[in-house]
């Protein structure tokens, strides 16, 4: 009898991968806050996560070879082309820091869910003795 991974684990894994990609993009935006003409990148993986419930794959789309990659996944990364400041840069440090904190909370929530599922499986395997 083969071992089958619970579909919930696949969704949680996609959540962690998407959250990691978002964290990398936010860090990239923050590191370019003073770069003239830089336009921030955005990652909205929640819609793709919903799609992954059906397809169990979370694609990452990289628009340039110089952009941040998340391995073999293809998460949709978009560029915010709003005008921003006089130097053409549209990164708002406060907005990025807020997004980073929100993303960290999201990542930790998904990680906690994985840990709880593992604890339940361990409990079941041990017949409730440990």
Is the pTM value of this prediction over 0.85? no
| pLDDT at residue 1 in the model | 43
Between helix 46-55 and helix 7-31 the angle, nearest 10°, is: 150
| pLDDT at residue 92 in the model | 94
| pLDDT at residue 84 in the model | 87
| pLDDT at residue 65 in the model | 61
What is the torsional sign of CA 23, 25, 26, 28? positive
| pLDDT at residue 13 in the model | 86
| pLDDT at residue 124 in the model | 87
* Positions of the chain with pLDDT under 70: 1-6, 46-75, 128, 130
């Amino acid at each position: 009898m083969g071992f089958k991974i619970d579909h919930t684990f696949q969704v949680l894994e996609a959540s962690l991968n998407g959250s990691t990609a978002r964290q990398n993009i936010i860090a990239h935006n923050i590191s370019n806050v003073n770069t003239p003409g830089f336009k921030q990148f955005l990652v909205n993986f929640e819609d793709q996560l919903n799609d992954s419930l059906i397809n169990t794959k979370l694609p990452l789309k990289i628009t340039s070879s110089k952009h941040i990659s998340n391995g073999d996944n293809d998460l949709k990364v978009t560029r915010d082309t709003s005008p921003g400041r006089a130097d053409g840069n549209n990164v708002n440090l406060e907005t990025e820091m807020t997004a980073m904190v929100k993303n960290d909370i999201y990542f930790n929530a998904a990680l906690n869910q994985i840990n709880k599922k593992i604890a339940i499986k361990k409990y079941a395997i041990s017949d409730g003795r440990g």
